[in-house]
Amino acid sequence: MMKDWNTPIYAFFKPLPQVVVKNGCRTHEFLCFGRGCKATVRWFLDTTDCRSTSNLRKHAKSCWGNDVVRAADDAKNADEVWTKIVPNYLQDGSITAAFERKGKGNIMYSHCQHTRQETK
C-alpha cells in the first residue's frame, strides 16, 4: 500500500504512519512534520474514499501555508519536495505578518502595559 504513496503531499508528514483502531475501525495516523505541530491526521481504511488525500492537504495548508502546498503540487514526488521546495521556503519575518488576523475586522494594537500576572 505504501508503494502507491508518492503524491507530494506526503512530504509534509512522517513517512511511516501508525496503524490505530479507533471505534472499531482501522486507521492510519499521519504525524505532521511542521515545527511545533503535534497534529495527527487520520485516514480511515474502511471507507470508500480511503485513498483520498484531502484531509492531509487541508492540514498541510493550515500548517505550512498555501504557497508551499501549491509549490509542492508542481513537484514529481515527495523526495523532490524535501530537496527543492521546503529548504527554499522562507517565511516573512515581519511581526505584523506573524500576528495577522485571519478573519474579518481591523488589526488592533494595545499600548497598555501588561500587569505583573500577565507577564509571568
Q: Average pLDDT in the 35-64 region?
A: 84
Residue 113 lies in a domain: no
pTM of the model: 0.65
Residue 103 lies in a domain: no
Give the structural domain span for 72: 10-90
Residue 3 lies in a domain: no
Please write the tens of the pLDDT for every residue from 8-41: 888 888 888 888 888 888 888 999 887 778 888 8
Residue 70 lies in a domain: yes
Residue 44, all three cell numbers: 480511515
Residue 118 lies in a domain: no
22-31, 43-52, 66-75, 94-103: least confident range: 94-103
How far CA 22 is from CA of 15, 51, 73, 104, in Å, comes to 21, 18, 31, 37
Total number of domains constituting the chain: 1
Residue 82 lies in a domain: yes
User: How many other CB atoms sit within 10 Å of the CB of residue 13?
Assistant: 23
DSSP run (H or E) holding 5: none
